[in-house]
Amino acid sequence: MLKTALEGKIKLKDIQVEVLSCRPIQGNGIVVKTKTPEMLEKLKTTIMNDLTFRDKCQVYIPKPRVPHIIIFDIPPQDGDQAAHENNFIIQLKERNELTDQEIKGVFKKKGRGSLQNWILAMQPKNYQEIKDKKRLRCGFNSYRFKEFLEPLRCFGCYRFGHLKRNCRDTKPTCTKCTANHDPKGCTKPHPICRNCVLYNNSTNLKVRADHMSNSNLCPMYLREIEFTAKHTIYGCVPAIVFFLVFFAGKLGSSTYGDPRVAKPLFFK
């Protein structure tokens, strides 16, 4: 176990590092939280300088996440989509008197009928200016919106941290029984959630797993939302005091996400 291996090799007292928490996560990894950012860097350096761990571990310090919103029911337009998105954001800023800070289109989701739901990322100051509004004006229209905290989820294997197009599983996973077949033909009488089973197997905690893997009431899904909100910047940039450690080759399967996939969701 990675945590046991680290505890056996690294003496926190000797390097003057205070760890506040250390817990396992999916992907054969752990998330480590320290008292200060300086302690975090010191512990990271110690891990990566140790010959035992250098070629066996990967350490990832996640970037802070800026606020995201979802704007509902935007009519699609033909032609240059990049120009359409840019014009929409310009009008959004003008009509809502937003400060001249970056607002970026992240991705689109299907809305009602032929309409689209757009997910935008914005700097904290802009989010503070609109968070209490019910609608956003854009051109001659106004649109419903809300904060977007939905975690990155694969609709092939139903695990978190990557999209279906990046999934390493070649066969789809049943949402009802976790076997590799289409859920429409599943004959199991009771559902069981893959994410909750994996979590229970990797920790000493036990959460209810008697639900579909794509349920929005899944404890792991709600945990991901809570984690996303907790590490979103709503004011000044917080000091990062945690990082993720994985056994080499396991980075993409974490519930916290593959950083190579997650980078587009963050401002540099």
Residue 65 has a pLDDT of 86
Distance CA 74, CA 143 (A): 8
**Which H or E element spans position 47?**
helix 37-49
Helices 219-230 and 194-202: crossing angle, nearest 10°? 70
Residue 28 has a pLDDT of 67
Residue 1 has a pLDDT of 67
Residue 141 Rama label (left phi>0; alpha psi -120 to 50; beta) = beta
Residue 261 has a pLDDT of 30
Which structure tokens are listed for 243? 């990082």
Residue 25 Rama label (left phi>0; alpha psi -120 to 50; beta) = beta
Residue 265 has a pLDDT of 29
Residue 247 has a pLDDT of 57
Residue 267 has a pLDDT of 29
Q: 134-165: per-residue pLDDT in tens?
A: 999 999 999 999 999 998 888 888 888 778 88
So where are the chain's domains?
1-63+240-248, 68-147, 164-216
Question: Which stretches of the chain drop beneath a pLDDT of 70?
Answer: 1, 24-28, 236-268
Residue 240 has a pLDDT of 61
pTM: predicted TM-score of the whole model, two decimal places: 0.71
Distance CA 158, CA 154 (A): 5
Distance CA 34, CA 43 (A): 9
Q: 112-126: per-residue pLDDT in tens?
A: 999 999 999 999 999
Distance CA 245, CA 62 (A): 11
